Amino acid sequence: MHIGEEMDVLQELAASEPADVNVFQAIGELIRHQPQVTIVKLAGKARGGGAEFVAAADMTFAAIETAGLGQIEALMGIIPDGGGIQYLRDRVGRNRALEVILTADLFDAETAASYGWINRALPADELDEYVDRIARNIAALPDGVIEAAKHSLRADDFTEGLLRENDAWASTFSLPAAQHLISGGLQDGAQTPAGERDLEGLMRSVAR
């Protein structure tokens, strides 16, 4: 699929969501409302939109030694805008959601599991086997069980929260501070492999 075709698909997806809900929020909502069970196996770092993708999934299992999660947006002068704020509050509570968003720290897998952000942290050499077993066991359930469970545990309606989130992101993104931080981070290599290894440190240095 070419970039133009991908954008067409994303725009169609966004058009199916309520007015003012952005395309990234629409993707998160699509993931949350799948009839299948969505499982993330996280061996590396998921920040920003990647962390929002993780929070949208039904289950996440992560490697203790190597996995990490973070919402780094505050260091760029903005807030998460892909549904992450709504999903975080649902998973970890308001107080810890504020901690994650406003500290903009990278959280290790064990802490994320203790907060309820993910299901479980496992040794890296056990992660593949564990997730494979979970997925196979769920797939082998009798017809109708998965659908009934997901219907009983229906995903909450975050429409109002998503709209507030999008408005709040727009109000911060337009500020000079955000433009300075985002452009400075890019100039310093925020989107390079080296920069991403310590993205939090890089962005904090831009803010000084």
**DSSP code, position 37:** P
pLDDT value of position 127: 98
> Residue 124, class by beta-carbon neighbours within 10 Å (0-12 exposed, 13-18 middle, 19+ buried)?
middle
* Residue found by looking up tokens 């720290």 in the block: 105
pLDDT value of position 12: 66
Residues 6+ apart with CB under 8 A from 3: none
pLDDT value of position 18: 59
Mode of pairing for the β-strands spanning 68-70 and 107-108: antiparallel
pLDDT value of position 80: 95
189: alpha, beta or left, given left = phi > 0 and alpha = psi -120 to 50?
left
The whole-angstrom separation of Cα 207 and Cα 120 is: 34
pLDDT value of position 1: 45
Contacts within 8 Å (CB) and 24+ apart, 39-42: 39/131, 39/134, 39/135, 40/118, 41/127, 41/128, 41/131, 42/67, 42/69, 42/109, 42/118
pLDDT value of position 208: 83
pLDDT value of position 21: 78
The low-confidence residues of the chain, meaning pLDDT below 50, are 1
The whole-angstrom separation of Cα 76 and Cα 202 is: 11
List of domains in the chain: 3-138+152-174 (3.90.226.10)
